[in-house]
Amino acid sequence: MLGLMQEWPLLCHKIVDYAAAQHGAREVVSRSVEGPIVRTTYAALRGRALQVAQRLERDGYGLGDRIATLAWNTARHLEAWYGTMGIGAVYHTLNPRLFPEQLAWIMNHAEDRCLFVDLTFLPLVEKIAPQVPSLRQVIVLTDAQSMPETSLANAVAYETWLGEADGDFAWRQFEENTAAGMCYTSGTTGDPKGVVYSHRSNVLHAMIAALPDAMGVSSRDVILPVVPMFHANAWGLAQSAPMVGAKLVMPGGKMDGPSIYELLDSEKVTFTAAVPTVWLMLLQHLEETGKTLPHLKKVVIGGSACPRAMAEKFERVYGVEVIHAWGMTEMSPLGSLGTMKPEYAGLEGEALLDIKQKQGYPPFGVEMKVTDDENRAQPWDGKTFGRLKVRGPAVSRAYYGGAGAEQFDDEGWFDTGDVAHIDAHGYMQITDRAKDVIKSGGEWISTIDLENLAVGHPDVAEAAVIGVAHPKWDERPLLIVVPKPGARPSREVLLSFMQGKVAKWWLPDDVVLVDEIPHTATGKIQKMALREQFREHRLPDAEVEPRAARGA
């Protein structure tokens, strides 16, 4: 027996239709790439998305065509996205922080036919376009007046191109499992891998992300997604914000402390999200100027582990609730969020910060387990760590072209490549990337725990821990530190600071100070590069015999 409810395919353009119908006058504010702050509404944005759809179709694009974007978060980028999806074409967000050769590789792999690009990245595109034979058109997200000279034969100013369509157009209809978008993972090893979102997965993810115990956003919120649309759909906010009718504030290309503060303040932002690096810059700006955050209620911090000191500052000094989140491009991207179940809701002070160090628990729509190397599920005891595996309706079931098949098993579980433990209340904590974990005498040492501990020292700006070869223990931890300006903390000072806070045999064998730690295009520490750099590093004799000290 079948249910007798309507077929109403979950298609992304229905999100912008809803926003225009129910929240049509709600503002979408952007810091434009040309400079000024520009304002539009959901109703106007939908109208222009229809023009994009109509104009793309006239240029010969349709179902399944990959339409790339190389752009900051702005209303123009958003309307180009919805317009692309509305004809069943596939938006493909490119990360401008990648090397030009990587970008060309990704565009060729995806066979991008058309590209929307911000003025900022035009020189980059001039360099790579000749290497991408499938690319037949470049649409520069600006008007005729600001359109620069370009060596690209097939480039046009967006506003001119868009002006040739009147928007009298109906969204195309197709099946909800149709591809909606693509995003390649940054992959620190091997070639990048293509994640392909569907209309259904995007709509479901947007609903899941908006739930009260996930991001918990509403039409009364003013949302500033600092996290870029090219970083896994701005963590879903590009869809959740219009779905709930929240005012949207798009930061364009300026993510420094003063620029973000200006938008938080002038637009009275209540909700924002970004990686820790962005929040470091904002907190530094607040400290230097003595400014406060009277409007901001929630900040989502993810992409890499949220330092304890950061959660503490936001919550205690500025009164802003921190939601520590974990996710992956392959998960659309939300996997877990650190909102408080009743079991933890009464916690205060250090006990609360302890829980905020965890990456939280999965919302409806994400199943999660940790397994050992034999694929046996591990207990939820908050300490036994293993490989973190997930499944759900907005989790990848394959990569584009079939790469990385070994990460997917027959029961639908996706091996995240992260190492984690889960506690009795379901809260997960990442302890490492599987390839970064240090194996010392057959036991695992979490590099993230050690890094979090080291950055708690007042002289440390940033820290990374890697395993270096050791004749007896296979690998031992080396702590690499970028000191705060003017500070030169010694090995002894740092090690004694860490002593007693982790098992003795976890303590790094050595400490080196560096000016800079290399990062990937998405802001993660490049452990591979560090391991290469310190491959020959000779550890001094260990002060403690790791195996003897274990269990002490």
Known catalytic residues are 185, 330, 439, 444
520 CB contacts (<8 Å, ≥6 apart)? 186, 188, 526
In the bound complex, what is the minimum distance in angstroms from residue 50's beta carbon to ligand AMP? Answer: 31
514 CB contacts (<8 Å, ≥6 apart)? 480, 481, 482
In the bound complex, what is the minimum distance in angstroms from residue 302's beta carbon to ligand AMP? Answer: 4
205 sits in which H/E element: helix 199-210
Among 305, 337, 437, 453, binds ligand AMP (CB under 6 A): 305
234 φ, ψ (degrees, to nearest 5): 50, 45
Residues in contact with ligand AMP, counted by CB under 6 A, come to a total of 21
Site for ligand AMP in 480-539 (CB under 6 A): 522
The crossing angle, in degrees rounded to 10, of helices 237-244 and 13-23 is: 40
* Nearest CB to ligand AMP, comparing residues 98 and 141: 98
* Helix extents (H) in 358-465: 447-454
Q: What b-and-e string marks burial along 34-53, b requiring 16 or more CB atoms within 10 Å of the CB?
A: eeeebebbbebbbbbbbbbb
Among 32, 51, 339, 359, binds ligand AMP (CB under 6 A): 359
* Nearest CB to ligand AMP, comparing residues 61 and 414: 414
Residue nearest ligand AMP (C-beta atom): 329
* Nearest CB to ligand AMP, comparing residues 216 and 335: 335
In the bound complex, what is the minimum distance in angstroms from residue 190's beta carbon to ligand AMP? Answer: 14
Cα distance from N-terminal residue to C-terminal residue, the chain: 62
In the bound complex, what is the minimum distance in angstroms from residue 448's beta carbon to ligand AMP? Answer: 7
User: Is position 357 an interface residue for ligand AMP (rule: CB under 6 A)?
Assistant: no
Among 161, 230, 326, 413, binds ligand AMP (CB under 6 A): 326
Give the C-alpha separation, 449 to 307, whole Å: 10
* Nearest CB to ligand AMP, comparing residues 162 and 428: 428
Stretch that binds ligand AMP, among 32-40, 172-180, 325-333, 477-485 (CB under 6 A): 325-333
* Nearest CB to ligand AMP, comparing residues 29 and 453: 453
Burial class (CB in 10 A: 0-12, 13-18, 19+), 271: buried
Q: Dig out the tokens for 166 from the structure.
A: 């009147």
Sign of CA dihedral 372, 375, 380, 386: positive
In the bound complex, what is the minimum distance in angstroms from residue 199's beta carbon to ligand AMP? Answer: 21
Site for ligand AMP in 231-270 (CB under 6 A): 232
Give the C-alpha separation, 307 to 106, whole Å: 32
Q: Dig out the tokens for 50 from the structure.
A: 């229809």
In the bound complex, what is the minimum distance in angstroms from residue 206's beta carbon to ligand AMP? Answer: 17
Site string for ligand AMP, 175-194 (x = CB under 6 A): ----------xx--------
In the bound complex, what is the minimum distance in angstroms from residue 495's beta carbon to ligand AMP? Answer: 24
* Nearest CB to ligand AMP, comparing residues 51 and 95: 95
User: Is position 95 an interface residue for ligand AMP (rule: CB under 6 A)?
Assistant: no
In the bound complex, what is the minimum distance in angstroms from residue 385's beta carbon to ligand AMP? Answer: 13
For residue 108, which of 194, 185, 186 has the smallest C-alpha distance?
A: 194
* Nearest CB to ligand AMP, comparing residues 178 and 185: 185
* Nearest CB to ligand AMP, comparing residues 263 and 450: 450
288 CB contacts (<8 Å, ≥6 apart)? none
Q: Dig out the tokens for 182 from the structure.
A: 């693509």
Q: How many CA atoms lie within 13 A of 519 on its CB side?
A: 14
The crossing angle, in degrees rounded to 10, of helices 491-498 and 447-454 is: 110
* Nearest CB to ligand AMP, comparing residues 263 and 355: 355
Stretch that binds ligand AMP, among 69-77, 159-167, 298-306, 404-412 (CB under 6 A): 298-306
Q: CA 49 from chain center: how many Å?
A: 25
Give the number of other Cβ atoms within 10 Å of residue 284's Cβ: 12
In the bound complex, what is the minimum distance in angstroms from residue 336's beta carbon to ligand AMP? Answer: 8
User: Is position 303 an interface residue for ligand AMP (rule: CB under 6 A)?
Assistant: yes
Site for ligand AMP in 382-441 (CB under 6 A): 416-418, 430, 433
Give the C-alpha separation, 327 to 394, whole Å: 11
Q: Dig out the tokens for 247 from the structure.
A: 């005012």
Q: Dig out the tokens for 442 from the structure.
A: 């057959």
- Site for ligand AMP, rule CB under 6 A: 185-186, 232, 302-305, 324-329, 333, 359, 416-418, 430, 433, 522
